[in-house]
Amino acid sequence: MEHVILPALGEGIEKAKVACWHASIGDQVAVDTDIVELVTDKAIFNVSAEASGILREICVGEGREAKIGEVLAVIEPR
Amino acid sequence: MIQEMTTCCVEDLGLIDYKQAYILQKQHVAEVLNGGPQTFLLCEHPAVLTLGRLADEKNMLIDEKELVKQGIGIHHIDRGGDITLHAPGQLVIYPILDLGNFGKDLRRYLHRLEQVAIDLLGDFDIVASRFSGQTGVWTGGKKIASVGIGVRKWIAFHGLAVNVNTDLNLFSMIKPCGLDVEMTSIAGMKKRTVQMAEVKEKMTNHFCRNFRLECVKD
């Protein structure tokens, strides 16, 4: 399983809010495609899939906050 | 964290439809991702409202039908921040930069964009600054410039809007950035119209200096 992690976004930024998911559980996602958008300060940050596969789990729903380093989703590589 | 000087292509789009400029931004993002040059776009837009991803529609104080009647567009877009207005007389910059060259730090990037506006306003003897807890640039308790960005694979898009000769009455249609705030402009502060060409040149110079970029005109 491949974990999609919220990367470090800069000094003093500890968390970001999930604005929207571009994929749903069960969807086939391709490597390098954006799957989730997060908001912090006045920035939108897109996180992409690091592996192609099936999106098996969304760990942080829309409107919820995630901490830096937190697992946002789980992809089953194909 | 800024490394050696890199180049950046400067492109003046003039007065351009919001959506057209958005498509251009996305094309430039794709180019940078493919190893192409970073780009600094400058433009003005016909009157248009844009809402960031988590914008509250309550901050739009005008009926959508009325907007249509006045020929004012509205777009929900992928940038941070709430609602904002663009209109002729407002200088908008869209730097398409690889933030990998600038320490991959969103807050530092936003601060640096604000600094570009602060330095530009200094050229017009307007003392402007950041306002505690808020983004954007302020002078005399009024907001004069707004920031909002999007980032994809550490390539930044969207950017900064500075009111130069903007018709400030247009802001009555919205609660800018969701705040009870009064907006101002360079013309409003100086009590005279300012030449946009001059502002564009100063803006380009301050941008290049703040980001240590060698800017190349197309």
Distance CA(B49)–CA(B57), nearest Å, equals 11
SS3 of residue A31 by DSSP: coil
Check if A31 contacts B (Cβ < 8 Å). Answer: no
Q: How far apart are the first and last CA of chain B?
A: 28
pLDDT tens digits, residue range A11-40? 999 999 999 999 999 999 999 999 999 999
Confidence at residue B178, expressed as pLDDT on a 0 to 100 scale: 79
SS3 of residue B130 by DSSP: coil
SS3 of residue B120 by DSSP: helix
Check A12 against B107: CB less than 8 A apart: yes
pLDDT tens digits, residue range B27-61? 999 999 999 999 999 999 999 999 988 888 899 99
Which of B29, B27, B24, B38 has the alpha carbon at shortest distance from B211? B38
Other CB atoms within 10 Å distance of the CB of residue A7: 12
Confidence at residue A42, expressed as pLDDT on a 0 to 100 scale: 87
List the catalytic residues of B: 177
Residue A42 with chain B: CB contacts under 8 Å: 52, 79-81, 110, 135, 147-149
pLDDT tens digits, residue range B71-92? 999 999 988 888 999 999 999 9
Distance CA(A22)–CA(B69), nearest Å, equals 33
What is the nearest CA distance from B185 to chain A, expressed in angstroms? Answer: 21
Confidence at residue B57, expressed as pLDDT on a 0 to 100 scale: 87
Tokens found for residue B187: 């013309």
User: Which residue among B103, B106, B108 places its CB closest to the CB of A45?
Assistant: B106
The angle formed by the CA atoms of residues A3, B30 and B48, to the nearest 5 degrees, is: 105
Produce one character per residue of B73-86: b if its CB has 16 or more CB atoms within 10 Å, e if not. Answer: bbeebbbbbbbbbb
Residue B2 has pLDDT above 80, yes or no: no
pLDDT tens digits, residue range B148-186? 999 999 999 999 999 999 999 999 999 887 788 899 999
Confidence at residue B53, expressed as pLDDT on a 0 to 100 scale: 83
Put simply, the chain B residues between 93 and 152 with a CB less than 8 A from any chain A CB are 103-110, 135, 147-152
Over residues B193-215, mean pLDDT = 96
Band of pLDDT at residue B3, cut at 50, 70 and 90: very low
pLDDT tens digits, residue range B109-163? 999 999 999 999 999 999 999 987 888 999 999 999 999 999 999 999 999 999 9
Confidence at residue B5, expressed as pLDDT on a 0 to 100 scale: 61
Check if A50 contacts B (Cβ < 8 Å). Answer: no
**CB contact set of A55 (below 8 Å; sequence gap of 6+):** A23, A24, A25, A26, A27, A28, A29, A35, A73, A74, A75
For the B6-209 domain, the top CATH level (class) is alpha beta
Residue B4 has pLDDT above 90, yes or no: no
Check if A11 contacts B (Cβ < 8 Å). Answer: yes
* Domain spans, chain B: 6-209
Confidence at residue A33, expressed as pLDDT on a 0 to 100 scale: 93
Q: How many residues does chain B have?
A: 218
Confidence at residue A32, expressed as pLDDT on a 0 to 100 scale: 92
Residue A17 with chain B: CB contacts under 8 Å: 54
